[in-house]
Amino acid sequence: MVILDANAILRYILHDNEVQAGEVIGLLERTRCLAATEVIAEVIYVLGKIYKTPRTKIVDAIQVFLSEKNVSPMQSTIVAQALAAYASTKLDFVDCILSGYQMQGYSVFTFDKKLQNYLKRIS
Protein backbone atom coordinates (compact mmCIF):
# COMPACT_ATOMS: atom_id res chain seq x y z
CA MET A 1 0.00 0.00 0.00
CA VAL A 2 1.21 3.50 -0.87
CA ILE A 3 0.61 6.58 1.27
CA LEU A 4 -0.11 9.62 -0.88
CA ASP A 5 1.23 13.02 0.13
CA ALA A 6 -0.65 16.29 -0.18
CA ASN A 7 1.03 17.23 -3.48
CA ALA A 8 -0.11 13.99 -5.12
CA ILE A 9 -3.69 14.48 -3.96
CA LEU A 10 -3.63 18.14 -5.03
CA ARG A 11 -2.42 17.19 -8.53
CA TYR A 12 -5.28 14.66 -8.76
CA ILE A 13 -7.86 17.23 -7.65
CA LEU A 14 -6.55 20.29 -9.49
CA HIS A 15 -5.11 18.75 -12.68
CA ASP A 16 -2.82 21.77 -12.77
CA ASN A 17 0.06 19.58 -13.88
CA GLU A 18 -1.31 17.05 -16.36
CA VAL A 19 1.78 14.82 -16.27
CA GLN A 20 1.73 14.51 -12.48
CA ALA A 21 -2.07 14.17 -12.38
CA GLY A 22 -1.74 11.34 -14.90
CA GLU A 23 0.88 9.63 -12.76
CA VAL A 24 -1.42 9.78 -9.73
CA ILE A 25 -4.37 8.47 -11.74
CA GLY A 26 -2.21 5.63 -13.06
CA LEU A 27 -1.06 4.78 -9.57
CA LEU A 28 -4.66 4.75 -8.33
CA GLU A 29 -5.63 2.38 -11.14
CA ARG A 30 -3.07 -0.26 -10.14
CA THR A 31 -2.22 0.20 -6.46
CA ARG A 32 -4.05 0.43 -3.13
CA CYS A 33 -3.36 3.87 -1.68
CA LEU A 34 -3.82 5.27 1.80
CA ALA A 35 -4.93 8.84 2.50
CA ALA A 36 -3.67 9.85 5.92
CA THR A 37 -5.94 12.13 7.93
CA GLU A 38 -3.12 14.64 8.39
CA VAL A 39 -2.57 14.77 4.64
CA ILE A 40 -6.27 15.33 3.97
CA ALA A 41 -6.14 18.20 6.47
CA GLU A 42 -3.17 19.71 4.60
CA VAL A 43 -4.96 19.38 1.24
CA ILE A 44 -8.04 21.11 2.64
CA TYR A 45 -5.90 23.89 4.10
CA VAL A 46 -4.08 24.46 0.79
CA LEU A 47 -7.28 24.41 -1.26
CA GLY A 48 -8.93 26.91 1.07
CA LYS A 49 -6.09 29.28 1.88
CA ILE A 50 -3.91 29.17 -1.23
CA TYR A 51 -6.44 28.38 -3.98
CA LYS A 52 -9.40 30.17 -2.30
CA THR A 53 -11.66 27.22 -3.10
CA PRO A 54 -15.11 27.41 -1.45
CA ARG A 55 -15.76 24.87 1.32
CA THR A 56 -18.48 23.03 -0.59
CA LYS A 57 -16.18 22.50 -3.57
CA ILE A 58 -13.37 21.35 -1.27
CA VAL A 59 -15.64 18.79 0.38
CA ASP A 60 -16.91 17.60 -3.01
CA ALA A 61 -13.36 17.24 -4.36
CA ILE A 62 -12.16 15.31 -1.29
CA GLN A 63 -15.20 13.03 -1.44
CA VAL A 64 -14.58 12.31 -5.14
CA PHE A 65 -10.95 11.50 -4.38
CA LEU A 66 -11.87 9.26 -1.43
CA SER A 67 -14.43 7.42 -3.56
CA GLU A 68 -11.71 6.10 -5.89
CA LYS A 69 -11.78 2.31 -5.59
CA ASN A 70 -8.12 2.03 -4.57
CA VAL A 71 -8.14 4.89 -2.04
CA SER A 72 -8.64 4.16 1.63
CA PRO A 73 -8.72 7.01 4.12
CA MET A 74 -7.26 6.45 7.56
CA GLN A 75 -9.98 6.82 10.19
CA SER A 76 -12.66 6.80 7.50
CA THR A 77 -15.58 7.35 9.89
CA ILE A 78 -13.88 10.30 11.59
CA VAL A 79 -12.89 11.80 8.22
CA ALA A 80 -16.46 11.47 6.94
CA GLN A 81 -17.83 13.14 10.07
CA ALA A 82 -15.17 15.86 9.84
CA LEU A 83 -16.02 16.56 6.20
CA ALA A 84 -19.71 16.89 7.10
CA ALA A 85 -18.85 19.30 9.93
CA TYR A 86 -16.49 21.27 7.68
CA ALA A 87 -19.21 21.68 5.07
CA SER A 88 -21.76 22.94 7.59
CA THR A 89 -19.67 25.11 9.95
CA LYS A 90 -16.94 27.72 9.88
CA LEU A 91 -14.60 25.55 11.96
CA ASP A 92 -11.22 24.71 10.52
CA PHE A 93 -10.78 21.12 9.42
CA VAL A 94 -8.60 20.06 12.36
CA ASP A 95 -11.36 21.18 14.73
CA CYS A 96 -13.79 19.19 12.61
CA ILE A 97 -11.56 16.13 13.02
CA LEU A 98 -11.70 16.67 16.78
CA SER A 99 -15.49 16.79 16.59
CA GLY A 100 -15.36 13.48 14.72
CA TYR A 101 -13.38 11.99 17.58
CA GLN A 102 -15.98 13.22 20.04
CA MET A 103 -18.70 11.61 17.93
CA GLN A 104 -16.77 8.36 18.30
CA GLY A 105 -16.92 8.61 22.09
CA TYR A 106 -13.70 10.47 22.89
CA SER A 107 -13.72 13.51 25.13
CA VAL A 108 -12.21 16.67 23.64
CA PHE A 109 -10.71 19.38 25.88
CA THR A 110 -10.32 22.81 24.34
CA PHE A 111 -10.25 26.51 25.22
CA ASP A 112 -11.51 27.37 21.70
CA LYS A 113 -14.99 28.86 22.24
CA LYS A 114 -16.27 28.11 18.73
CA LEU A 115 -15.19 24.50 19.04
CA GLN A 116 -16.60 24.23 22.58
CA ASN A 117 -19.98 25.49 21.34
CA TYR A 118 -20.01 23.08 18.43
CA LEU A 119 -19.02 20.13 20.62
CA LYS A 120 -21.88 20.97 23.00
CA ARG A 121 -24.34 21.04 20.08
CA ILE A 122 -23.32 17.62 18.79
CA SER A 123 -23.23 15.94 22.21
Instruction: Determine the Cα–Cα distance for residues 38 and 119; give it in Å rounded to an integer.
Output: 21
Q: Which residues of 93-121 are buried (b: 16+ CB within 10 A; e: fewer)?
A: bebbbbbbebbeeeeeeeeeeebeebbee
User: How many other CB atoms sit within 10 Å of the CB of residue 43?
Assistant: 26
pLDDT of residue 16: 97
pLDDT of residue 32: 97
Structural domain boundaries in the chain: 1-74, 76-123
Dihedral sign from CA coordinates of 92, 96, 98, 99: positive
Mean pLDDT, each 10-residue run in order, the chain (123 residues): 97 98 97 97 98 98 97 96 97 97 97 97 93
Instruction: Determine the Cα–Cα distance for residues 62 and 49; give it in Å rounded to an integer.
Output: 16
